[in-house]
Amino acid sequence: MQLKKLNTALFPVRYNEKYYHDTIASKEFSKLAYYSDICVGAIACRLEKKEGGAVCVYIMTLGVLAPYRSLGIGSKLLNHVIDLCEKQNIPEIYLHVQTNNDDAIAFYKKFGFEITKTIEKYYKNITPPDCYVLTKFIGQAATKK
């Protein structure tokens, strides 16, 4: 599976079968990116129900192999998910980012994500273990904040 190989190269965390099952279940919100027939990036999301029944999108992973960064591939992948949320009236997208991952935090902030929470000891086997929750509110949810 291309996504599994890519994640092994990109992330310090190993993902279980539930991650890949969730990716397949929300396939419209998960995409692979190819550059000259080489899989170089991916976004994997899942749909979640919030309290009250509203649906939101959780970005499980978004990554692009180092030699292919700064070519707009990650931006295209993220814009795909944002566009789907706008079309389907999904008011919120969120993700977890390690607190020392300044590049990722800056990347998401360019797209209107904001830090909405800090969770201590979120990650079990990586340092630092703390993460931020970054959230983008879409449509009416953005104006209600």
CA 45 – CA 95 distance, rounded (Å) = 9
Query: Over the stretch 7-27, which tens digit does the pLDDT of each residue have?
Result: 889 987 888 888 888 888 788
Architecture, CATH, for domain 2-144: 3-Layer(aba) Sandwich (3.40)
pLDDT of residue 140: 67
> What mean pLDDT do residues 33-50 have?
93
pLDDT at residue 74 greater than cutoff 90: yes
Q: What is the mean pLDDT of the chain?
A: 92
Catalytic residue among 58, 68, 122, 123: 58
Q: Where are the domains of the chain?
A: 2-144
Confidence of residue 125 (pLDDT cuts 50, 70, 90): confident
Mean per-residue pLDDT, 86-91: 96
Task: State residue 51's pLDDT score.
Answer: 84
Q: Is 35 a catalytic residue?
A: no
Confidence of residue 41 (pLDDT cuts 50, 70, 90): very high
Name the catalytic one among 15, 20, 68, 96. Answer: 96
> What was the pLDDT predicted at 57?
97
Comparing 16 with 143, the larger pLDDT belongs to 16
d(CA 66, CA 140): 36
123 is an active site residue: no
DSSP-assigned letters across all residues of 23-83 = HHHTGGG-EEEEETTEEEEEEEEEEEEPTTS-EEEEEEEEEE-GGGTTSSHHHHHHHHHHH
Report percent pLDDT > 70 for the chain. 96
